[in-house]
Every structure is written in structure tokens, then in C-alpha cells.
Amino acid sequence: MTALDIQISVEEGDWPSEDELETFSSRILGAAADFLAAEEKQPFPGQPPELSLLFTDDRSIREINAEWRHQDKPTNVLSFPAFPVVPGRVPGPMLGDIIVAYETLKREAEELEKPFEEHLTHLLVHGFLHLFGYDHIEDDEAERMEGLETRILARLGLSDPYGGRPPG
């Protein structure tokens, strides 16, 4: 498995324990890193790259979203690469931060009729891909990123989260 140094913080929300989140996140992000290394030939630095995961609530992510993206509303996941990254290039020793909001994730999982853990898996993979420079602003970028997400999730035994709808 591709080594990652994952730092976990639980700030707010009705999340499982940090130990449970660490075990869960390490498995998911390790699988995503292995996929990128094997299938996309993504190089990794010599030392395990570090990333931080912040598990919080809608109030906190709304503040972050307003400050950094000028969108005064909660969202499910935010990613902040530590350095500018281009897919396929060696990232720096610090990948960046992924922030997940409990209430939005829970509500979306219920609306999608998916288990909470399955939707969390998707959001972690989505956020992780952003740390490697993948994006979904343009349709072709969205198609590529969503295709990677779908393939990674399939390796984890999960269905296509986009269900055949157009990218974006």
C-alpha cells in the first residue's frame, strides 16, 4: 500500500471516534493512492506525503467556504492543496487539507439512500483527487475526475456515485 501520513482532527459534529476515522480514512485513502500510483502512474515523494483531515460541522465549513471560496453556505467537502499540483507530477511532502461537514454529508447520504460510510468514502476520494490537481470546473476535467472516482470506488466495492448523469 502507498504510504500516507494522515493527521486527523475531529472539531465538531457527531462523528465516530478519531481512532475509527483514522482506520477508515487510512483504508480509503490508501486504496485511492494505490490506484493513482498503479493506474495513473502518479509518482509519490520518497517519504509518505502528509495530509490532514478535519471532520467538522456545517457551521464551521460554512465559515471556511465563505472565507476561501466566497460562498456563504455549507458544503459537503472542501480540499485545499498545500502547493499547486498538476496530475501526474510528484506532489510536495504536504498534500494539503480535506474538510468534511457532518450534517451535509448525513443529509446527502439520506437523500441518496446510501449508507453514511459509503457517502463519506466518496467524499474522501473526491477530496483526495483535488489534492493531486484534479478538478471538475470544465466538463472534460469533470469527466476525467468523476471517472477516476468511479473506478476507485469500484475497487472498494462501491457503485458509481454519479449513476450515469452528465459530469459537473
Please report the pLDDT score of residue 166 as a whole number.
Answer: 41
- Cβ–Cβ < 8 Å for 31, 155: yes
Distance CA 27, CA 52 (A): 15
pLDDT at 168 over 50: no
pLDDT at 5 over 90: yes
The sign of the torsion formed by the CA atoms of 25, 28, 34, 35 equals negative
Question: 166: which residues sit within 8 A by CB, 6+ positions away?
Answer: 139
pLDDT at 71 over 60: yes
* pLDDT tens digits for range 108-144: 999 999 999 999 999 999 999 999 999 887 778 888 9
CATH match of 5-155 with 3.40.390.30: yes
Distance CA 162, CA 168 (A): 10
Show the cell assigned to 47.
517519504
User: What SS3 class is residue 14?
Assistant: coil
The gap from C-alpha 73 to its chain's centroid, in whole angstroms, comes to 19
> What is the enclosing helix (H) or strand (E) of 6?
strand 5-10
What's the pLDDT band for 164 if we cut at 50, 70, 90?
low
Average pLDDT over residues 94-119: 95
**Among 2-16, 78-92, 131-145, which is the least confidently predicted range?**
131-145
Average pLDDT over residues 4-20: 94
b/e 70-101 (16+ beta carbons within 10 angstroms → b): eeeebbbbbbbbbeebebeeebeebbbbbbbb
Please report the pLDDT score of residue 31 as a whole number.
Answer: 96
Query: Percent of the chain, pLDDT > 90?
Result: 80
Could you please report the per-residue DSSP string of 43-107? ---SSPPEEEEEEE-HHHHHHHHHHHHS--S--SEEEEESS---TTSPP-SEEEEEEEEHHHHHH
Q: What angle, rounded to 10 degrees, do the helices at 116-131 and 139-155 form?
A: 130
